[in-house]
Amino acid sequence: MHKFSATVLTLAIGLGTITAHAADSSDQCTTVKMADPGWSDIATTNAVARLLLESLGYKVKVDSLAVPIIYGGLKDGQVYAFLGNWMPAQQGFHDKFVANGDVLQLSRNLEGTEFTLAVPDYVWNAGVKDFADLQKHADKFDKKLYGIGSGAPANLSLKEIIDKNAFNLGQWKLVESSEQGMLAQVDRAVKKQQFITFLGWTPHPMNVKLNMHYLTGGEQWFGSKGDVYTLTRKGYPQACPNAAKLLGNLKFTLDMENSIMANVLDQKISFDEAAKAWVKAHPGMLDGWLAGVTTKADGNAVEAVKAKL
């Protein structure tokens, strides 16, 4: 009787394993649909995820979408994974989509981020070190706050600051642009030593390229230090457990992301090329990222990725 029970248990475990991998071989798991809001840090982490997933036999499709569209896509199941849930900057989207279970928060992939208004060093040295200092130099700033793409959570926070006349900024204007457009404006201002304040964050190569400082005082809207989370559509770990396991395993560091992004800029290479070079130089990261993960065909994940490097 005990032998029979043990045999049944062994078969059950085996069948459970087969079922899990069979689920990832279904059509809905063949392609991992991800999103990028046009941010260099998410392009970086997406490139790492793409390298690993494609090495394991998956296809990866990354759509460039505004943040509100990404959350709607996760809710509707059109986007499978998003590696850029910046908290607390995206608290509003978290409350609307994640807290009620429409979107799944899978794991934390980065710790210790900063995301708030920043200024060049010469502006900082002139006494602008806090949100409350901006209005004192309103004319020099032309009463403009430079943000990123329309609909971005950080832009919404800046709009709220203006609407509520916080820090006496009620007469200021938010200038919305792409990440690249905003930083081009910063470059022009720096060359002329003009006053400018803009959305800054780390990780990002701007922290290496620019002599910049983050303003204090905006913690109510942006928090102090933050974290970034990986989100998936509801039910994705059950439908595609192997791919979801990999995505949940992904943990990054500020130094890693800054290094990859800096290589993209300095060497004029793609994010995919820079990510591959970094992973090749740090193969020890694969053990954590691929723990409990197989190839799509149930093979050895570490060997498969190393064969692609």
Q: What confidence tier does 10 reach under pLDDT thresholds 50, 70, 90? A: very low
pLDDT at 9 over 60: no
What pairing do the DSSP bridges indicate for beta strands 144-146 and 103-120? unpaired
Give φ, ψ of 112 to 5 degrees.
85, 25
- The superfamily CATH assigns to domain 19-111+227-308 is Periplasmic binding protein-like II (3.40.190.10)
174's CB contacts (< 8 A; 6+ apart) are 144, 145, 147, 155, 158, 159, 162
Residue the block writes with tokens 């800096």: 262
- Distance of alpha carbon 266 from its chain centroid, rounded? 21
Q: Which fold has domain 114-222?
A: D-Maltodextrin-Binding Protein; domain 2 (3.40.190)
- Mean pLDDT confidence for 63-83: 97
Using the predicted structure, report yes or no on whether residue 13 has a pLDDT greater than 80: no
Please tell me the distance from the alpha carbon of residue 17 to that of residue 90, in angstroms, as a whole number: 37
> Exposure pattern of 34-44 as b/e (b: 16+ CB <10 Å)?
bbbbbbbbbbb
Higher pLDDT, 21 or 304: 304
pLDDT at 275: 97
**Sequence ranges of the domains in the chain:** 19-111+227-308, 114-222
Whether the per-residue pLDDT at 172 is higher than 90: the answer is yes
CA distance 217 to 112: 18
Half-sphere exposure of 92 (CA within 13 A, CB side): 13
Q: Is the peptide bond before 120 cis (omega within 30 degrees of 0)?
A: no
Give the mean pLDDT of 185-213.
94
The pLDDT of residue 280: 97
Q: How far apart are CA 55 and CA 120, in angstroms?
A: 41
pLDDT at position 5 is 37
Q: What is the mean pLDDT of residues 45-62?
A: 98
**For 120-167, how does the pLDDT look when each residue is reduced to its tens digit (9 = 90+)?**
999 999 999 999 999 999 999 999 999 998 888 899 999 999 999 999
The pLDDT assigned to 25 comes to 64
How far is 261 from 271, CA to CA, in rounded Å?
7
Would you say residue 7 has pLDDT above 70?
Answer: no
What is the per-residue pLDDT for 207? 87
- Joined tokens for residue 59: 């296809």
Average pLDDT of the chain, as a whole number? 91
